[in-house]
Amino acid sequence: MLRAIDHIVLTTRDAQACIAFYTALGCREERFGDGRRALHFGDQKINIHHAGREIMPHATIPAPGALDLCFLADRPLEQVMDALRQAGLSWFEGPVPRTGATGPIRSIYLRDPDGNLIEIAEPAT
């Protein structure tokens, strides 16, 4: 019955810092509805909720820093790491081998401003 993930919701303490981080990763910001904000990448998006002002309905316990996300890169991981360095961002682990949804991947790990674990991966060859 399920085909793909359309969007996820990220709860943040600081929307500006959150959006700056994810746009540095290549997402593009969108404003929609009544002042709502989202980050688009590929055919998906991340809706942004500010902690304490979440849009209903929401998770039972929405919390900044509770997500563990893995993104597939649109370029070789070495190029991703170069772009992160240029943006002043650093990772704390990797590249390391992992198992993705469709097979082996090679990943690096960093944290967003709220402490969410962000994994960026490429298919392993």
Each residue of 5-27: pLDDT tens digit? 999 999 999 999 999 999 999 99
Nearest Cα to 8, choosing from 70, 53, 89? 70
Catalytic site positions: 119
Residue 36 covered by a domain: yes
Residue 21 covered by a domain: yes
CA distance 79 to 113: 22
Residue 2 covered by a domain: no
Q: H helices of 27-89, where?
A: 77-86
Residue 40 covered by a domain: yes
CA distance 104 to 65: 26
Residue 61 covered by a domain: yes
pLDDT band with cut points at 50, 70 and 90 for residue 125: confident
Residue 94 covered by a domain: yes
Domain that holds residue 32: 7-123
pLDDT value of residue 14: 98
pTM of the model: 0.94
Q: CATH number, domain at 46?
A: 3.10.180.10
CA distance 26 to 91: 16
Q: How many domains does the chain have?
A: 1
Q: Reduced to 3 states, what is the DSSP secondary structure of residue 5?
A: coil
Residue 1 covered by a domain: no
Nearest Cα to 107, choosing from 92, 118, 122? 122
pLDDT value of residue 47: 98
Each residue of 48-94: pLDDT tens digit? 999 999 999 999 999 999 999 999 999 999 999 999 999 999 999 99
